[in-house]
Amino acid sequence: MSTGASFSSSTVSLLKTIVGAGLLSMPLAYATDGLIFGTFVILLAAFTSGFGLFLQCYVSKFVPLGHASFFSVCSVTYPKLSVVFDIAIAIQCFGCALSYLVLVGDLMPTIISPSFIDNGNLRTFWILMSTIIIVPLSFLKNLDSLKYTSILGLVAIGYLSLIVILHFLIGDIPSDLKGNITFFPPNVSGVFQTFSIIVFAFTGHQNMFSIINESRDKSIKKLSLLVYIAIAVSSVFFIIVGVSGYLTFGTNVEGNVILSYPNHWSTTLGRACIAFMVIFSFPLMLHPARISVNNIYFWIKSEESEEADETTELISKDSPIVPFPNDRFYIITIALLLGGYILAVSIKSFALVLAIVGATGSTAISFILPGLFGYKLLASGSNPSKTEQLLKILAYILVIWGFCVMVLCLYVSIFLN
């Protein structure tokens, strides 16, 4: 009897990794891009991100079965850069998880303000209260173990989407709250400022290798179908919510569309859904960060000695399986949790730093790394097919696209914010 995560479970994990809080910023992206161009950018981001996920599925066949990771694939393609990429992944995923804690601290006091807590300490109180849910989930080793919380997260996303869509269909928002509606961007600078919102909304690549490893059916056909479904469903979510929210508020829409609606029990429940959504998303970000930290530790220990020690298990000369014993798993998890909570309580605003980390880390794992892997490994045999040759060219184009996105988003983060 085959073991592993079912197809539906793997799809839910990937879909929940992709569709997060960025969904609520889609109306703002439409407000700067216009209806037609905004939809075009979403579809472009969906295609490029989906192709990056597909390349991850394809190149996973070049490493030991069930042990695919950025580190292992780097070891057979660009071994000298493997630790650099793992550092980028660890920073990006940890920074994203940290932003979730900060959002909980900023959002929950607007929903519930206990009388026994001083207003100045409400933010810290709610951040610490999130440990009740986050800490137990963070010690689960497999993404498949998080499938039920992922389903709850998707239910929260569904409710938020329903709020936006129903208010648009009912048309109960006062006209004085509504701005102009455009089909194309009124200026180029506005497009640049929200470009990263759409591009990074599709980032699910940090967990893709783990999803592949845990999948019951690891065939390219089945994994590709998983990617197609996740990208298609997330694209529909992004477009429907983006268009509905934009047509409701026009150019007056907030960065978080839920904050644009007048106070009502339904919108208060929506804010609570956002809080629970990011709480359930925290373990999904901690998972790849923990793997990358372990890979970095493995690389450091390997560099200290030219010969592998007894903890190093090799399937082949070029493709190492990185050991992850229980004691190291718990130490790294505790260290990441402590670091995340200390920073979340201490730091009030780090938008610029987070934007720079996202522009570099997310772009690297979504476009540049999958493109480099595909370019190196595809059509590498003696008699490559025309399909592999075409995919190799497209992988190279994806790398160029990734560097262009990185430069653009860094420029926006540093000079336009």
Residues 6 or more apart whose CB falls under 8 angstroms from that of 228 comprise 50
* Regions of the chain where pLDDT drops below 70: 1-2, 21, 115-116, 118-120, 143-147, 189-190, 193, 303-321, 348-359, 381-382, 413, 416-417
* pLDDT, position 98: 83
d(CA 249, CA 323): 52
**Domains defined for the chain, CATH in brackets:** 7-304+321-345 (1.20.1740.10)
Handedness of CA 282, 167, 264, 121 (dihedral sign): positive
Question: Side chain identity at 148, as an amino acid letter?
Answer: Y
How many other CB atoms sit within 10 Å of the CB of residue 113? 12
d(CA 211, CA 7): 10
d(CA 1, CA 293): 33
Cα three-residue angle 126-129-132, rounded to 5 degrees: 150
In this prediction the pTM is: 0.78
* pLDDT, position 344: 84
Question: Side chain identity at 31, as an amino acid letter?
Answer: A
d(CA 224, CA 212): 11
Is the Cβ–Cβ distance between 32 and 191 less than 8 Å?
Answer: yes
Residue identified by tokens 């644009």 is 260
Of 151, 203, 215, nearest to 19 by C-alpha is: 203
Distance of CA 365 to the CA centre of its chain: 10
Count how many residues are written for the chain. 417
* pLDDT, position 354: 56
How many other CB atoms sit within 10 Å of the CB of residue 87? 16
* Per-position DSSP letters for 225-258, written without gaps between them: HHHHHHHHHHHHHHHHHHHHHHHHHGGG--SSGG
Where on the phi/psi map is residue 65: left (φ > 0), alpha (ψ -120 to 50), or beta?
beta
Distance of CA 309 to the CA centre of its chain: 35
* pLDDT, position 1: 45
* Per-position DSSP letters for 73-129, written without gaps between them: HHHHH-GGGHHHHHHHHHHHHHHHHHHHHHHHHHHGGGT---TTS-GGGHHHHHHHH
324: exposed, middle or buried (C-beta count within 10 Å: 0-12, 13-18, 19+)? middle
